[in-house]
Amino acid sequence: MRVSTRFSDSIHILAFIEIYKDIRLSSEVIASSVETSPVVIRRLMGVLREAGLIATKQGSAEPKLARNPKEITLLDIYFATEGNKPLFELDKKTNPECIVGGNIQGVLGDYYEEAKIAAQRKLNDTTLQDLIETILVKEKSKKSNN
Amino acid sequence: MRVSTRFSDSIHILAFIEIYKDIRLSSEVIASSVETSPVVIRRLMGVLREAGLIATKQGSAEPKLARNPKEITLLDIYFATEGNKPLFELDKKTNPECIVGGNIQGVLGDYYEEAKIAAQRKLNDTTLQDLIETILVKEKSKKSNN
DNA sequence: ATTTCTGTAACTCAATAAGTTACAAATATG
DNA sequence: CATATTTGTAACTTATTGAGTTACAGAAAT
């Protein structure tokens, strides 16, 4: 299938909501920054709401973060949008009669789990606040053109 | 799309080749352990050969590891089969006119890269030899039934 | 009252991985 | 040497799934 950009797009939405919290935030406006359709934005916002990351009100264009951006990590957003799915996929159908086929899934599963957790720990080290501040610094850096 | 099991299946093939190096190793035999078709096995073996992990000879059912299993890590196999692709996908199409859309790709890209490398380091910590020995221990453990 | 929004369902389109069919070319075997 | 076996590969089919689209009910804003 097409590769999922839900995670990245959701981070984008959350950063946008926080940075532009003082203006009117219709799904249309957010969509123009993410360069997608308002329906896709609303669909993602539904997921973020269910995960307790934002609060929205039907008919009103004012989504808010449900928690302080220092208290939201990239991992929280990852779990909300992609779930705790494997990063590396086992082949679940191997021959149980064979020494290799009968044992490899358990062994590989442990190795994959370790690698996944290492990546997740990194995601958990970065907060939405970190991301927003870095974006704002990069923007200033652009404008100082040197 | 369907999720790729090339990585896991390739590890399976390599472990199988090493463990059963003294018997005839047709793609048919390997396929019966992986529970897939011989064509899929040959296709994967083509990739592993190109990556310098195995040596094969057309018409002859005797693939060999091209390196000592202590010198092949899971990361080597990952790169051979999946390439160094992102673990977390950026949305490459965001509005460059917007503070968020214009900076988020660079910032997120750095965070994703760090997480990816953390996972890859773990994969690089495990050799094919480690995997094989663990499989053989688990098999003995099964048979001792207690 | 009318317009603007959100929330959601249903559908289309596209991407891609495994599995299948087919066959040429190399090797093994009696 | 003739035949059977096997690898290597191309072309095609099938299944899965995410983004994008269309449509519309219901809530809020004006």
A100·B7 Cβ contact <8 A? no
B67 token code pair? 């390196």
Tens-digit pLDDT profile for residues B97-115: 999 999 999 999 999 999 9
Residues linked to residue B127 through DSSP beta bridges, in sequence order: B73
Amino acid letter at A69?
A: P
Give the nearest chain B residue to A105 (CA atoms): B8
What ipTM does this complex have? 0.93
Cβ < 7 Å from strand C, A residues 101-130? none
pLDDT tens by residue, A1-30: 688 999 999 999 999 999 999 999 999 999
Whole-angstrom CA distances from A5 to A15, A19, A39, A41 are: 15, 21, 15, 12
**Chain B: residue whose CA lies nearest to A110:** B131
CATH topology of domain A6-143: Arc Repressor Mutant, subunit A (1.10.10)
Domain spans in chain B, listed from the N-terminal domain onward: 6-143
The secondary structure of A14-82, three-state, reads: HHHHHHCCCCCCCHHHHHHHHCCCHHHHHHHHHHHHHCCCEEEECCEEEEEECCCHHHCEHHHHHHHHH
Question: Which residue lies nearest D23, CA-to-C1' measured?
Answer: A39
Q: How far is the C-alpha of A48 from the C-alpha of A111, rounded, in Å?
A: 31
Which residue matches tokens 């160094």?
Answer: B84
pLDDT at A1: 67
- The pLDDT tens digits for A87-135 are 999 999 999 999 999 999 999 999 999 999 999 999 999 999 999 999 9
